[in-house]
Structure 1
Amino acid sequence: MTTEWKLFADLAERAGDKHITVDATSGDTVGDALEKLLAEAPDLEERVLDDGELRSQINVLRNGTNVLVEEEGLETELEEGDELALFPPVSGG
């Protein structure tokens, strides 16, 4: 199966695209898909990870739900048709 990542703001700029599709297999997790995304777009790594761990200000969504808050984090298992998204911190004034 394939999983599509949507990237926003400077993450899309670093990756060179707003949408990146990665291959996933049965049993893969959001974390597995993130590793595959970073392999496809290595310029994202320094913005998304800090010493190999997800930066606290990065939000990861699966089908519109923040997996870090409402699901099992990066261990959330993927399902056919899932859409993933990476959001950098958002600030306003």
Structure 2
Amino acid sequence: MEWKLFADLAERAGDRHVDVDVGAGDTVGDALEALLDGRDDLRERVLDEDGKLRSQINVLRNGKEIHSQQSGLETTLEDGDELALFPPVSGG
């Protein structure tokens, strides 16, 4: 499964597209853990001191934010899902 990363998250991961070894039946949380494995700089940016997803980090599955419209990190993945990770967005 592939993650699409944006802004400084892509810089910390070393690429805008990162493949992880998860698939249908796994959860978004499993995919996130696979993404963060071995990427300490990215982990510190995405997770807080308690290992929880920082509130300002947006995780999308198929274009929908997982916390507002799905089951959060427990959302089950299906074949063909697209995952994305966004930092806070500000504008004026």
The superposition leaves residues 52-87 of structure 1 with CA deviations (integer Å, 9 ceiling, x where unpaired) of: 000000000001011111000000000011110000
Query: Given the alignment of the two structures, is residue 10 of structure 1 paired with residue 8 of structure 2, yes or no?
Result: yes
Query: What's 1:53 paired with?
Result: 52
Q: Which runs of 5+ in 1 are unaligned?
A: none
TM-score, normalising length: structure 1? 0.92
Q: Which runs of 5+ in 2 are unaligned?
A: none
Q: May I ask how many residue pairs the two structures share in their alignment? A: 91
Query: What's 1:89 paired with?
Result: 88
Query: What's 2:70 paired with?
Result: 71
Q: C-alpha root-mean-square deviation of aligned residues, in Å?
A: 1.1
Q: Matches of 1:23 and 1:36 in 2, distance apart?
A: 7
**What percent identity do the matched residue pairs reach?**
74
Structure in which a larger fraction of residues adopt strand: 1
Q: Matches of 1:25 and 1:63 in 2, distance apart?
A: 14
The superposition leaves residues 36-61 of structure 1 with CA deviations (integer Å, 9 ceiling, x where unpaired) of: 00015332100000020000000000
TM-score, normalising length: structure 2? 0.93
For 2:19, the aligned partner's letter is: T
Runs of 4 or more off by more than 3 Å in structure 1?
Answer: none
Q: Matches of 2:13 and 2:24 in 1, distance apart?
A: 26
Q: Matches of 2:86 and 2:54 in 1, distance apart?
A: 11
Shift of 1:24: 1.0
